[in-house]
Structure 1
């Protein structure tokens, strides 16, 4: 397993719409292992393949609270089937937008479908942190970031901050 470099805002790759996983291959399994390793190392609770530069509809997640009892999930081609009218607000962060957190309102419960690495199709209901994480990661697959749910003023501030940081890192002013 390899820890892969994360794509960081304002990289335009984060806005790509990812392509479906057609077949579960050894390469797909290797990517899933690398993504889990990268997610745990970061540390984070979710990671979309595009965040490591691969535009595939693949997500890894683990919302367990304990390192000793990890519950890793790999979701291929995940999709939200329905969401509750009831909303909940969670403070979200993103490995591609490091050290920035903001409250985001989303459906409190969702029903979603995905394929496993074994090729099995699963439908599942989620609430709480899992529901938030599923929605956040599926957004990534569609080129949507959690900052897109913020006011224009807050979003512009974040983009400006990360553009300046990227210029500094590239050696510009």
Structure 2
């Protein structure tokens, strides 16, 4: 029995924006039109996320400044969570704060222990404008918080401090995809 198309199967893989690209630091605009263009963007986000072997992807990571992200992410019990959120807003972030490994498709190869809440609730809409509420724990909560940060112009390295932050910035400066402009470009 067929249950519809696989998310992203009709989408185009778009180039990922890498650290240093201004699109990653600009807060995204609210989506106001729930139309075919939005549906196409969501398909492209899925296609790009799967091609890059990610578990989540925000629209600004492909250069689109709209508040939308997709995910296909397990939680700590290995339950799969698949979906998208338009105009997401965190309504709860609580539980213990856990420092866990975190990476980003826009900072390829970089990973650092990043503090995140172990439980989060996100509210928003589907691509058709229907209200949606998503609750995540563990790794899935980390994913939801990570993608919401992207839509506000944030990166996981912004949550690092001290030695972890210095090591991450040093790794960025040495990366083959590092932005030009020296250390100042990396300290963004």
TM-score normalised by length of structure 1: 0.87
Contact 1:9 1:163 in 2 (8 A): no
What is the Cα-based RMSD across aligned positions, in Å?
Answer: 2.0
Contact 2:112 2:168 in 1 (8 A): no
> Which whole-Å deviations, capped at 9, do the CAs of 1:33-81 have from their partners, x for residues lacking one?
011000001010000000000000000100149xxx9753111001111
TM-score normalised by length of structure 2: 0.80
Shift of 1:154: 2.9
Give the aligned partner of residue 154 of structure 1: 167
Following superposition of structure 1 onto structure 2, how do residues 1-173 of structure 1 map, counting pairs within 5 Å?
1-64=11-74, 72-151=82-161, 152-162=165-175, 165-167=178-180
Shift of 1:87: 1.1
Distance 2:174 2:56 in 1: 23
Distance 1:25 1:118 in 2: 7
Distance 2:109 2:158 in 1: 17
Q: 1:31 to 1:144 in 2, by over 3 A?
A: same
Q: Which runs of 5+ in 2 are unaligned?
A: 1-10, 181-188
Q: Which runs of 5+ in 1 are unaligned?
A: 168-173
Distance 1:124 1:71 in 2: 10
Distance 2:107 2:129 in 1: 32
Contact 2:74 2:139 in 1 (8 A): no
Q: 1:165 to 1:112 in 2, by over 3 A?
A: closer
Give the aligned partner of residue 184 of structure 2: none
Distance 2:81 2:134 in 1: 15
Distance 1:80 1:161 in 2: 34
Shift of 1:124: 2.7
Q: 1:11 to 1:129 in 2, by over 3 A?
A: same
Stretches of 4+ moved more than 6 A in 1?
A: none
Contact 2:97 2:115 in 1 (8 A): yes
